[in-house]
Amino acid sequence: MTQLLSEDHQALAESVRDFAEQVIAPVSAEHDAAHSFPYEVIAQMGSMGLFGLPFPEEYGGEGGDYLALCLALEEIAKVDQSVAITLEAGVGLGAMPIYRYGTEEQKQRWLPDLLSGQRLAGFGLTETDAGSDASGTKTTARLDGGEWVIDGTKEFITNSGTDITSLVTVTAVTGTSQASDGTSQKEISTIIVPSGTDGFAVGPGYDKVGWNASDTHPLSFTTCRVPEENLLGQRGRGYANFLGILDEGRIAIAALATGAAQGCVDQAVRYAKERRTFGSAISAYQGISFKIARMQARSHTARLAYYEAAARMAAGKPFKTEASIAKLVAGEAAMDNARDATQIFGGYGFINEYTVARHYRDSKILEVGEGTTEVQLMLIARSLGLS
């Protein structure tokens, strides 16, 4: 697999692997149990340049590519998915929309702090009745005296309520437009809302099954006013632009899921060699060794899938379908490997201080977030000409 990577990519992966094992892993169980955000870890990741990996140096980035980000996510997710999703969302959902669609003034204002990891940003898309189905969006924004007036609510927004969150980009209905068939449809735009803006409230964090050390909140907007120039991208293109961001993000989520799947393999191999029953290490039993072999096959397949999607993206080729395949395969690999690793660990796999137990709780969301498994199947089917 390393033959597919440049020397720089290999060096980055090794550096992040060492950091994950030496800095993140020792405090992972503590933050998970306390549901506490790991500010000290995030600060060190910022100092390493991880939040700026796929961005040009002119905005404070590292001048790398998307594969570099994916490699970092894979290594971190082996030991802590909460920290990995904080990085993925901070880059893919926080900084990337501003880089892709922002004005030069917006980029100069917001990107330097986001790419340094000193600040985080969230993307407010999901609502009670809206997410994959944009037609359900009920949050509205209207122009009044040179300001957008925003009203509505959002759900499940990552990185939206930390002490270092600087902004949330929000999708809102800004009017109606006419479709090609003559019917009217919602005009959805994206608007930057800085933290602390009057009328913008962050609700209490969710009591989640997993990803306990990541930051996730509901948001509400009540006559929330921001300047007209806070419009991000072209008016009416907000949801379309976000779909492009989501395609990229699925590659990153696939990398994260691959890391989770591989982390379960690594933990299972170590445990199987150490744990002894009836006078032998359990790795000597075919039932255990074959289970771990299947786990490795899943991880390997998931890695190949996200590598190809990232390579197509870097080459400027269409990658939407490949991103969906990678996300589908990797998400299922993470969940399946977590289940098998927990079984291998037996009773210890049910104790939260063990990494595999946290992977078991954390991995389910990888089949749901940033497009469910069913959405990926729908997109793949469409690419085959199936309705």
What would the DSSP string read from start to end of 283-322? Answer: GGSHHHHHHHHHHHHHHHHHHHHHHHHHHHHHTT---HHH
Instruction: Give me the pLDDT at residue 256, please.
Output: 98
- Spatial neighbors of 20 by CB under 8 A, at least 6 apart, are 75, 76, 78, 79, 80
Query: Are the beta carbons of 69 and 95 closer than 8 angstroms?
Result: no
Beta strand residue intervals within the chain, DSSP E: 120-124, 140-144, 147-158, 165-178, 184-194, 200-202, 216-227, 231-232, 276-277, 280-281
Query: Are the beta carbons of 252 and 66 closer than 8 angstroms?
Result: yes
- CA angle 86–92–98, rounded 5-degree value: 120
DSSP assignment of 47-88, as one string? HTTGGGTTS-GGGT-----HHHHHHHHHHHHTT-HHHHHHHH
- Closest C-alpha among 49, 52, 50, 54 to residue 65: 54
Sign of CA pseudo-dihedral 26, 27, 33, 38: negative
Instruction: Give me the pLDDT at residue 352, please.
Output: 94
Instruction: Give me the pLDDT at residue 227, please.
Output: 98
Per-residue pLDDT of the chain (387 residues; tens, 9 = 90+): 556 789 999 999 999 999 999 999 999 999 999 999 999 999 999 999 999 999 999 999 999 999 999 999 999 999 999 999 999 999 999 999 999 999 999 999 999 999 999 999 999 999 998 877 777 899 999 999 999 999 999 999 999 999 999 999 999 999 998 777 778 889 999 999 999 999 999 999 999 999 999 999 999 999 999 999 999 999 999 988 988 899 999 999 999 999 999 999 999 999 999 999 999 999 999 999 999 999 999 999 999 999 999 999 999 999 999 999 999 999 999 999 999 999 999 999 999 999 999 999 999 999 999 899 999 999 999 999 997
Instruction: Give me the pLDDT at residue 2, please.
Output: 52
- Closest C-alpha among 207, 252, 306 to residue 95: 252
Integer Cα distance of 223 and 231 in angstroms: 16
Beta strand residue intervals within 90-164, DSSP E: 120-124, 140-144, 147-158
Burial of 35 (0-12, 13-18, 19+ CB in 10 A): middle
Instruction: Give me the pLDDT at residue 151, please.
Output: 98
Integer Cα distance of 281 and 283 in angstroms: 5
- Spatial neighbors of 306 by CB under 8 A, at least 6 apart, are 70, 251, 254, 255, 258, 326, 330
Instruction: Give me the pLDDT at residue 3, please.
Output: 63
- Spatial neighbors of 253 by CB under 8 A, at least 6 apart, are 88, 327, 330, 331, 366, 369, 370
Query: For 319-357, b where at least 16 C-beta lie within 10 A, e where not — what string?
Result: bbbbbbbbbbbbbbbbbbbbbbbbebbeeebeeeebbbb
Q: Which residues pair with 261 in a beta bridge?
A: none
Place of tokens 């030496």: 22
Query: Are the beta carbons of 215 and 161 closer than 8 angstroms?
Result: yes
Could you say which DSSP state residue 24 is in?
I
Integer Cα distance of 159 and 342 in angstroms: 29
Angstrom CA distances, 16 to 20, 27, 46, 69, 357, stand at 6, 16, 12, 11, 23
Grouping H, G, I as helix, E, B as strand and the rest as coil, residue 272 is helix
- pTM of the prediction? 0.96
Q: Which residues are tagged catalytic? A: 370
Integer Cα distance of 293 and 22 in angstroms: 27
Domains by residue range for the chain, with CATH: 2-120 (1.10.540.10), 121-237 (2.40.110.10), 240-383 (1.20.140.10)
